[in-house]
Structure 1
Amino acid sequence: MHLRFSFNAYLTVALLSIWPALGLAVEASCPKTIYLTFDTGNMSVAQTVADILNRQQVKATFF
């Protein structure tokens, strides 16, 4: 279980880190919204994900 969680957390952080390199940037005037879900079982990686999203100027809500 711990190994699976660690891999999922690593994969999430890795994918968010390379987001800009994928060429998926959207113009600031684009009114579209996307929803991302992370099924981690707990929020121990939330701060890392929030930091990455913040660097990319992506607004996020965690609950």
Structure 2
Amino acid sequence: MKKIFEAEGNFIRYEEHRVKLENGDELVHRSEEPTELWWKLKEAVKGRKVRIVVYDTGE
């Protein structure tokens, strides 16, 4: 096996917003947005058979 990509960072930007409704209920809006790192990985592995291993950096 040959290494074709190595990087560190967040692949997906995740946000959560809580909204209080008029009747007192609470609604949670969630959004996920791919980062530039995600797109670089996608381009690096496009069309290849790969094994992807992910480590938590503990941050």
Please give the TM-score of this superposition, normalised by the length of structure 2: 0.27
The structure whose RCO (Cα within 8 Å, separation 6+) is larger is 1
Structure showing greater radius of gyration is: 2
Please give the TM-score of this superposition, normalised by the length of structure 1: 0.27
